[in-house]
Amino acid sequence: MSSMGSVSFGGLMSGMDTRGLIDKLVNASSRPILLMQREQVILQGKKSLITDITSKLEALGNASRVLTLDTTFQAFKSTSSDTSVIDASVASTYGVQEGAITIDNITSQASFQRQVISSTGTPISDADAYLDYADATTLTITSYTSEVSDVSISVDSTTTLNELAAAINNAAGNSLVSASVINISADEDNPEYKLILKAKNTGLSDFGGAQTRGFDASELETQSTLFDTVSNSNGTDAQLDIDGVTVTRSTNTFTNVLNGLTFTLKDLPAAGTQVQVTTSRDTDALVSKINTLVDAYNNVVTTIGEQYKLDEETESLGLLGGDNSFKRIQKDIQMMITGYAGGLRPGYHAVTGFADIGFETDEETGEVSFNSSTFTSLYGSERELVEALFLEESSIGGIATEGIAEKVYSYVSGLTEGFNDPIYAKTHESIMDAKVTSLEREMEDIEERIARQQSSLEAMRERLTAQFNAMESLISGMQSQGNMLNSFFSSLSNNQK
């Protein structure tokens, strides 16, 4: 059997498994590829870890940054002694004063002006009955409020009560009134419909008096033969006394009465009832932000620390255990958290570090815990010093300080943020991103080496296949010659007999 083109003998002549032998020789030479692929897996694992650590460092930086801002320590909260009557909130921290104020003589809530248009002579029993307006008539609901425009609607002889209400509600630019049709009758068989108009804004109206506020819809009644009555209920302002001073608003929300505070009147209390509104620093919000810092710090310390622990089974460190730069990062941050704020001196200042305000460090794991009770107590008595532990900059007794939170933020930013180079007009990637880029380049290089090795193995397979095919062809030729000789000698022997 011979071989032509891509067809091989496959050991048919020699009796050898040449395909299997070629596979073994190629596989033996492919070990470097396996080693490179294993190295790729390790590098990918390192990249994932560094990306994770970077994310946790960024979270630590963000948590630190929040605590370096003055506004974080200017948060206030207000509480009402009776939230069913008045709710209080801090809308702005500017100029807010701590303490309690008394709200008494709550005389009125803001309400809406209403007008009811109906027929008292012959009640309207059909909301789809014609109102008998003249054809092509324009009716106007007059506004007595300078900021709000009149409302004009077009009607005709076939306009019904329901259609009138819809026309009012759909009128272009209507910010004055809303309309609805109601049935006031208790007898389902004998309905009595009325048109209710309600101002869209609360506040005192003076219909029938000076008419400087509110609205007048009486033209809807006078132009119809079915209507004969317009009854009005004026709107009211909200009014209350704050520490003896009367304050009036057109809505139930009182803003700009006291710096930063907003009151919402929800109900009228019993006569003579007072409501206390107390404003204080929002320590709970501050504690929450510090806990966020603690959690972010512990995530960084724990994740990095795991890389330098010896695995008892494999007797090896983590994937990043051979890179001491991460251990340096961990130690630097730990020294900041357990150290002192810049400018504060132990023995001279009552508060100099996080340990003084409730931070406790686990000597084994390096993690910290936070005692909020210790912090709250000390913040009440040493607020200026406590804030100096966090703020970007402050001054204590004429001494400039730099907060620990600011130190952590600056350090972490140097690791996770890129920077602009004005000399060469280019942006440099961050230290952490540079580590990832270096690993990616290594993986790309390995990928190229693997591709070259695979090409080399393919060439090796083709070379071995050609060599074994040549051997099989030679053996086949020799067997053919042997068979010819055997046939010749056999024929010669027969002729001699």
Q: How far apart are CA 148 and CA 145, in angstroms?
A: 6
pLDDT of residue 12: 46
pLDDT of residue 3: 40
Report residue 418 as tokens: 């890129």
pLDDT of residue 454: 85
| pLDDT tens-place string over residues 231-281 | 999 889 998 888 888 999 989 998 878 878 888 999 888 877 888 988 888
Give residue for tokens 């340990």.
355
Cα–Cα–Cα angle for 40, 44, 46, rounded to 5 degrees: 115
Q: Where are the domains of the chain?
A: 1-75+282-471, 76-110+238-281, 114-233
The amino acid at residue 232 is N
Q: Identify the H or E element spanning 183.
A: strand 177-183
Strand-pair category, 253-255 with 261-265: antiparallel
pLDDT of residue 9: 42
- What residues does 177 pair with on adjacent strands? 199
pLDDT of residue 422: 63
pLDDT of residue 357: 95
pLDDT of residue 319: 81
pLDDT of residue 75: 85
Report residue 27 as tokens: 């596989």
Q: Please report the sign of the dihedral spanned by the C-alpha atoms of residue 64, residue 66, residue 71, residue 73.
A: negative
Per-residue pLDDT of the chain (497 residues; tens, 9 = 90+): 344 344 444 444 455 677 888 778 878 877 888 888 889 898 899 899 999 999 999 999 999 999 999 989 988 888 999 999 999 888 766 666 777 888 877 888 888 889 998 888 888 899 998 998 998 899 999 998 888 999 999 999 999 999 999 999 999 999 999 999 999 999 888 999 999 999 999 988 877 666 567 899 999 999 988 888 889 998 899 988 888 889 999 899 988 788 788 889 998 888 778 889 888 889 999 999 999 999 999 999 999 998 888 877 877 887 888 889 999 999 999 999 999 999 999 888 999 999 999 999 998 889 999 999 999 999 989 999 999 999 998 888 888 999 999 999 999 999 998 776 666 666 778 899 999 999 999 999 989 888 888 888 888 888 888 887 777 777 777 777 777 777 777 777 776 65
Q: How far apart are CA 292 and CA 63, in angstroms?
A: 6
pLDDT of residue 211: 58
Helix locations, 282-353, DSSP H = 283-306, 324-338
Which residues does 67 contact at the CB level (< 8 Å), separation at least 6?
289, 290, 293, 390, 403, 405
3-state secondary structure of 403: coil
Percent of the chain's residues with pLDDT above 70 = 93
